[in-house]
Amino acid sequence: MKKKCIDSIILHCSDSEFGDADLIDQWHRERGWSGCGYHFVITNGVIQAHEKYLPFNDGLVQVGRDINKTGAHCKGHNTGSIGICLIGRHGFTAKQLYEALPELLRMLMFDHEISLDQVHGHFEFSRKKSCPNISKEIIRKIAEYSV
């Protein structure tokens, strides 16, 4: 199936030290949304609050919202974009940044013919946000590494 309507990817962070797609789904429903606003979530090894780091929970790619449905992650830019959320606030794990994310980007960029220039950080669309707390330079490097 051709999905030409998708033309960009926007990266986010959860701004939490822990979490997964189920927890974000819960948080977003509590805000009155129809469920997880991101299409994908990448875990950091800590799923629940006060849990210790578990390596097998690090770098898991989870589906948050069906990719054929419009996301709710970036005001004014939800149409045509895929939202990916890295669990974490300021620091991310090597598995998230250098394994799971590039692998996911590689697949999505290939499937949807998305170019390097179309991989963005949330902060590029909102002056008030620093999300995902990864510089444009690093985002670019990860995207380059993914193609």
Q: Where along the sequence are the contacts to Zn ion (CB under 5 A)?
A: 12, 122, 131
| Minimum gap (Å) between residue 122 Cβ and Zn ion | 3
| Minimum gap (Å) between residue 56 Cβ and Zn ion | 26
Closest to Zn ion by CB, 69 vs 110, is: 69
Helix (H, G, I), strand (E, B) or coil at 132: coil
| Minimum gap (Å) between residue 104 Cβ and Zn ion | 16
Closest to Zn ion by CB, 12 vs 95, is: 12
Helix (H, G, I), strand (E, B) or coil at 42: strand
Among residues 99, 81, 91, the alpha carbon closest in space to that of 11 is found at 81
Closest to Zn ion by CB, 55 vs 76, is: 76
Closest to Zn ion by CB, 30 vs 55, is: 30
Among residues 22, 146, 51, 43, the alpha carbon closest in space to that of 9 is found at 146
Q: Quickly tell me which residue has 């946000």 as its tokens.
A: 129
Q: Pairing relation of β-strands 58-63 and 119-121?
A: unpaired
| Minimum gap (Å) between residue 22 Cβ and Zn ion | 19
For 40, phi then psi, to 5°, come to -135, 150
Amino acid (1-letter code) at residue 139:
I
Helix (H, G, I), strand (E, B) or coil at 59: strand
Closest to Zn ion by CB, 85 vs 100, is: 85
| Minimum gap (Å) between residue 76 Cβ and Zn ion | 13
